[in-house]
Structure 1
Amino acid sequence: MGEIKTWQAMADTNAERLQRTTGRSVEEWVEAARGAGVHSRAALAAWLKPQGVTGYSLMSVDWAMFGYPDFILSSVDELYEGQYADRQALRPIGDRLLAWALEADGVEVQMRKTYISLQTARRKFAQVTPATKSAVDVFMRFARPNDPRAEPARAAKDDPFRWRIRLKTVDDIDDAVLGALTAARDESL
């Protein structure tokens, strides 16, 4: 059975990426930024960008300088409880999908503040989101869904998820839904 990671795992990965791509640690970047007189998040981003430090790498330096958001410091249980705090009737859906992910080969589970991220070593292939008070949305990355309930997802420009299956009860999680998750995983291996 797999383990569930929190945002902290992502923060650690970001710090490693920063070290690998720039040759400097988060602490070295923080020290250099303070030495350059940087005192705000906006100033930090403006100072780091010309040096090629953007995106997740910038987040690492930002959080080290100005403090980590509460969700980074939250445990798996705190994050998961927060997702279903005002929609307990949907929790069995999340529990069932989480159980599948923890038992599936090659799946890494990362708990986020508002969703569960399902990933392979290569990329994120699905996201489980208690989207409304009456439904959990499973967003997936795959070429052609086999489940007729799959509908095009309204995705942001950089969002890899093009399909969504909306689940309203735990009984909606049938072989077709699990097959779609498996297909999305397999296409992402």
Structure 2
Amino acid sequence: MSETSHAKAAKTWQTMVDSNQALLLRKTGRDVHWWAAEGRARGLKNDAELRDWMREDHGVTGYAQYAVSWEMFGYPGFMLRDADELIDGQYVNHPQLRPIADALLAWSAETEGVEIQMRKGYVSLHSPRRKFAQVTRANNTTVDVVLRLDAPAEGRLEAVKVREGDFFDRRVRLRSMDDVDDELLGYLAKALDQNS
């Protein structure tokens, strides 16, 4: 699969930006531009002042605040990168691991119901319902696939110690392309099915 195909199939932080802006509009009836103009008119100088004003004066908290903060004070640089730039950045110093990530992206792009979301340090795989897997370069020699999967930890499927309420407690470690096999793709398919 070409890099261009990855870019078409993958979403970047723009998905989160759009989602946060839509949430703000639903919660308040006002768009991000109105809120940013109000914040500027009030002379708010930083993120903390903005958040206090939105929470205390208007009851707006959480992700809806991010939309306004980013509009007023700028987006972090990594949020402005496209999908190819994000995946390139994750593997720039580890080219031997990139084929593993590419194989997982190819499976994701070709599998119905999977949405790929690129992040700065990992790739998030989502069903129409919720996130079911994460692909992360764990170290210099390993790519981890962490799964939200109800299955016994046995063989390559390891238990991962997580904080309470975190359901991503299964992992498969990949060290070579040989590890991207039917067993691994079966785990991914099962996690997709369980979370759809």
Bucket of the pairwise TM-score, normalised by the shorter protein: over 0.9
Does residue 108 (structure 1) correspond to residue 115 (structure 2)? The answer is yes
- Mapping of residues 1-189 of structure 1, within 5 Å: 3-50=9-56, 51-145=58-152, 148-157=155-164, 159-189=166-196
Question: What TM-score results when the alignment is normalised by the length of structure 1?
Answer: 0.92
Mapped to 2, the partners of 1:70 and 1:168 lie a distance apart of 30
Q: Which amino acid aligns with 1:174?
A: D
Cα contact 2:162–2:169 (8 A) shared by 1: yes
Q: Which amino acid aligns with 2:191?
A: A
- State the shift of 1:76 in Å: 1.0
Cα contact 1:93–1:169 (8 A) shared by 2: yes
Extract structure 1 runs of 4+ deviating beyond 6 A.
none
Which stretch shifts more, 16-25 or 1-10? 1-10
Structure 1 unaligned segments of length 5 or more: list them.
none
| Percent identity between the two aligned chains | 47
C-alpha distance 71-159 of structure 1, shift in aligned 2 (>3 A): farther
Cα contact 2:149–2:191 (8 A) shared by 1: yes
Mapped to 2, the partners of 1:118 and 1:60 lie a distance apart of 23
C-alpha distance 34-170 of structure 1, shift in aligned 2 (>3 A): same
- State the shift of 1:147 in Å: 5.9
User: What do residues 73-114 of structure 1 show as CA deviations (whole Å, max 9, x unaligned)?
Assistant: 101111110000111110011011000000111000011111
How many residue pairs get aligned? The number is: 189
- State the shift of 1:155 in Å: 3.0
Question: What TM-score results when the alignment is normalised by the length of structure 2?
Answer: 0.89
Mapped to 2, the partners of 1:28 and 1:82 lie a distance apart of 35
Structure 2 unaligned segments of length 5 or more: list them.
none
